[in-house]
Amino acid sequence: MPATAPKPANSNAAPAAATPMMAQYWALKERAGDCLLFYRMGDFFELFFDDAKAAAATLDIALTSRGEHGGKPVPMCGVPVHSAESYLARLIKAGHRVAIAEQVETPAQAKARGGSKALVARDIVRYVTAGTLTEEALLEGRSANRLAALATVGSANEVAIAAADISTGRFEVVAVRPEQVDAELARLAPSELLVSESADRLPAWGARQTVRRPQGDFSSNAGQKRLETLFGVGTLDGFGAFTRGEVAAMGAIAAYLDHVGTGGAVFLQPPQRVPASGRMAIDAATRESLELVRTMAGARDGSLLGTIDRTVTAAGARLLADDLASPLTDKAAILDRLDLVDALARDALWRDELRSELRALPDAGRALGRLVAGRGGPRDLAQLRDALAGAQLLRDRLARRPDLPPLLARSLPGLEGHGALVDELARALIETPPVDAAQGGYIAEGYDPELDALRETARDGRKAIAALEAHYRERTGIASLKIRHNGVLGYHVEVPAKHADALMAPESGFTHRQTLAGVVRFNSPDLHDAAGRVMQAGVHALAAEAAHLERLTEAAVARREDIAASCDVLARIDVAAALADHAMSHNWCRPHLADEPCLDVTGGRHPVVEAALAKSGERFVPNDVSLSSDDRLWLVTGPNMGGKSTFLRQNALIIVLAQAGAFVPAASARLGLVDRLFSRVGASDNLARGRSTFMVEMVETAAILAQATPQSFVILDEVGRGTSTYDGLALAWSVVEAVHEVNRCRCLFATHYHELTRLAERLNALSLHHVRAREWQGDLVLLHEVAAGPADRSYGLAVARLAGVPAGVVKRAETVLAKLEAGREATGGLAAGLDDLPLFAAALAATPEAAKDPLRDALAGIDPDALAPREALDALYRLKQIMADER
């Protein structure tokens, strides 16, 4: 949902009657565009007009008004600056973007500049947007937070997507075909997506925020320069050979980061090209229906990820989400991961040890992101210190182990080399420094003798002040005399009002400062001196600490790429150990990768359904599957609620897990690598995208038929049920035939159309299976067991009875059913006559689809008599362009 805060009526120019403040507000609002404008007023950020209404509604705070505009009160709301972060978090979550307008001079400076009435200058110093957050409070630790940009270059055939997670610096780019855009965006799931304002179509996949940016941001030439500056290199060649589209997409990210940070640094690692070929293609609809990392409702809990995630670090959790979202197709890479999980699965002691070490490590990746962005503090440096020290210890212990799995052995060097930085940070910082540097006190004693001396002076001064208090009590005889400190007066002497007279006397040595209801406050020359020493030493100490902080931050930032590499290794170990741990406690097995397209699973389970059943003490019934090139399409029938969908999905999930390099929920599993995975399960309404259920079903089915290869795996659940019986059956029939004859992929097809079972006689690689059920003493018992052969009947009425449909209605349905079945026997039923159909392949051959020829089509669409000369010339140019595009 993009933020929509329309500008006030005539925002381009303030009306003559506008106050200077409103004029300034409008100028800033004009620049903020559709972002909510946080306008700094003293200790508050204030919002006006529609911004105020939108923010007040989202934040549930009071909407008031300030002054008038055009005779009407100006709506206003405000949030305190010190707690602005939590309000920002809620606004961002609700889909808004926010522009922060700060005061950029002090009132004194304003006065010096423009006299006593001058307005303090304000400027937008930063934009807070979903994709560009680095604040810990605003981020979900266990999820990646990506900003993506979609660029199309030249002929629309080159599309590239760049994605950056600036909280960790990960920066990737992928070139895709236009039809892959949605799948790729669904994999990346960016929280903010940039598209050019000249793009004529937005991708169907909806980011939480889609932001249109100027066309110039997507220019590949400008992009190249921006990226070279960002990375401080003379050429991008060192990072890889990028296409123009890729450079344009990455450049758009760099331009946006410039825009939102207005100059602030961001942390991006050198971009990595993600080859579309090394990963399993999973389209957006399939991801959604399999609920890999989010449920259909958008929650992590209840997804595959939420169910199996046992990682102990936030970076591990983020990597596991990435792994599940993008399973591999490279056998060697999968085996590498599996070997590591296997080794950790076999050695529980080692696994536990590693996991407890990892658990103790802070999230160094995000701490580094904040430091690079200039928003880091002493606590972030301490997190780096602890994480990197931990990484080194881990490396040393791992290096001593014999038989390290190859992936781990190769990764070890990535954990080293931080010794000098860790030593420096260890000497410089106290054990647990504060998040914020403002109060000081984070640099350790003994690190800097000058700082120690300043602190000593301050301490001595405070001691002297304490001594003065005792001395004054004695001298005045007032036992309740106290020396206090506050922000306005600094150190002062305070006595109850009844004793004040003694100190008021001119010869007392005290100077009156303030009289309050019960107490009177004084100063004295000695106190003034001591306080001055304390204050001066304090100011100098703070400055010295700040200088150290800056230097240490620079030292850490200089090593950012090595630090990020170490974080990646730690995350990989965490993921493998977590998967091993889950596998062992749930009896999962290591999958075997075969060279031929097959899927042999014994005792397979659906991890999410199994976990849900376990909560209510129920047992999941494991099921087998065995697909090969001779028997690659299983038609699964059986009663509603019998477990068909569950069976289909569990096999898709087993494939995803196996190719992500994880163990799988089965007693044994063997599979040939899957290049593309498709799932069309259930007819969930997709009214949000403006298509009817049946339309969605057909669009997705069309995608499967167009793209599935013999290496693909497809699950189809009740295709055709969204339309009339005859249309549905006819479509289901021809889809099964096409999958069998043309796509030739492995496929599980669940259906209620009993008539489809006749296909088994005609299609030799198709076999019939059913989920078992029994009626016992009038009740339906669902066994959830998959068995060979077709279902004997559909049990629809028994399920209706089970669901509590009134007995009278079920009884009536039984009468109707008996009539229908009698009719079926007489006429041959729904599928009567299908036996005479020619085979699918033969039918296809008889109606070859005319080869597409856009030039011919365009020419056919032109009526020369109806064209003016100018239009005829345009038409000629169009034809030339079509020809050029085709080459």
548 binds ligand ATP (CB under 6 A): no
Q: CA angle at residue 59 from 261 to 46, to 5 degrees?
A: 55
Cα dihedral value 780, 783, 787, 790, nearest 10: 20
- Around Cβ 817, how many Cβ atoms within 10 Å? 13
In DSSP notation, 239-306 reads G----HHHHHHHHHHHHHHHHHHTT-----PPPEE--GGGB-EE-HHHHHHHTSSS-TTS-STTSHHH
Closest-by-Cβ residue to ligand ATP is 643
User: From the list 642, 661, 722, 728, which residue makes contact with ligand ATP (rule: CB under 6 A)?
Assistant: 642
751 binds ligand ATP (CB under 6 A): no
List CB contacts of 76: < 8 A, sequence separation 6 or more: 46, 47, 48, 52, 63, 64, 65, 66
User: From the list 103, 196, 383, 640, which residue makes contact with ligand ATP (rule: CB under 6 A)?
Assistant: 640
CB 642 → ligand ATP: shortest distance, Å?
4
Question: Which window, 401-409, 562-570, 635-643, 847-855, contacts ligand ATP (CB under 6 A)?
Answer: 635-643
Structure tokens at 824: 């079926």
CB 618 → ligand ATP: shortest distance, Å?
7
Q: Smaller CB distance to ligand ATP: residue 203 or 722?
A: 722
User: From the list 49, 620, 713, 753, which residue makes contact with ligand ATP (rule: CB under 6 A)?
Assistant: 620
**Three-state SS across 542-573?**
HHHHHHHHHHHHHHHHHCHHHHHHHHHHHHHH
* Sign of the dihedral through C-alpha 625, 626, 627, 633: negative
Q: Smaller CB distance to ligand ATP: residue 393 or 817?
A: 817
Cα–Cα dist 272/735, whole Å: 39
326 binds ligand ATP (CB under 6 A): no
Question: Which window, 29-37, 164-172, 546-554, 619-627, contacts ligand ATP (CB under 6 A)?
Answer: 619-627
Count Cβ atoms within 10 A of the Cβ of residue 10 and give its class: 0-12 exposed, 13-18 middle, 19 or more buried.
Answer: exposed
- Around Cβ 604, how many Cβ atoms within 10 Å? 23
Q: Smaller CB distance to ligand ATP: residue 223 or 643?
A: 643
Q: Smaller CB distance to ligand ATP: residue 83 or 616?
A: 616
643 binds ligand ATP (CB under 6 A): yes
224 binds ligand ATP (CB under 6 A): no
Question: Which window, 223-231, 636-644, 809-817, 830-838, contacts ligand ATP (CB under 6 A)?
Answer: 636-644
Q: Smaller CB distance to ligand ATP: residue 641 or 844?
A: 641
Q: Smaller CB distance to ligand ATP: residue 447 or 694?
A: 694
Q: Which of 651, 642, 783 is nearest to 718 (CA)?
A: 642
Q: Which amino acid is at 757?
A: T
- Is 638 annotated as belonging to a binding site? yes
Cα–Cα dist 199/212, whole Å: 9
CA 875 to mean position of chain CA atoms? 46
Cα dihedral value 317, 321, 323, 324, nearest 10: 130
Q: Smaller CB distance to ligand ATP: residue 39 or 647?
A: 647
- Is 251 annotated as belonging to a binding site? no
Give the contact letters, 766-805, x = binds to ligand ATP (CB under 6 A), - = no.
Answer: -----x------------x---------------------
Q: CA angle at residue 460 from 458 to 463, to 5 degrees?
A: 110
645 binds ligand ATP (CB under 6 A): yes
Give the contact letters, 565-604, x = binds to ligand ATP (CB under 6 A), - = no.
Answer: ----------------------------------------
Q: Which amino acid is at 656?
A: V
Q: Smaller CB distance to ligand ATP: residue 230 or 664?
A: 664
Cα–Cα dist 602/588, whole Å: 11
Total residues in contact with ligand ATP, by rule CB under 6 A: 14
User: From the list 94, 404, 594, 641, which residue makes contact with ligand ATP (rule: CB under 6 A)?
Assistant: 641
Question: Which window, 167-175, 478-486, 620-628, 664-672, contacts ligand ATP (CB under 6 A)?
Answer: 620-628
722 binds ligand ATP (CB under 6 A): no
621 binds ligand ATP (CB under 6 A): yes
User: From the list 644, 676, 721, 772, which residue makes contact with ligand ATP (rule: CB under 6 A)?
Assistant: 644
609 binds ligand ATP (CB under 6 A): yes
- Is 641 annotated as belonging to a binding site? yes
Q: Which amino acid is at 112?
A: A
Strand order in the sheet with 98-103: 64-69, 72-80, 44-48, 36-41, 98-103, 122-128
Backbone angles phi, psi at 48, to 5 degrees: -130, 165
Question: In the chain, how many H helices and how many E strands?
Answer: 30, 27
CB 621 → ligand ATP: shortest distance, Å?
4
Bind-site residues for ATP? 638-645
Residues of this chain that bind ligand ATP (CB under 6 A): 609, 613, 620-621, 623, 640-646, 771, 784
Bind-site residues? 638-645
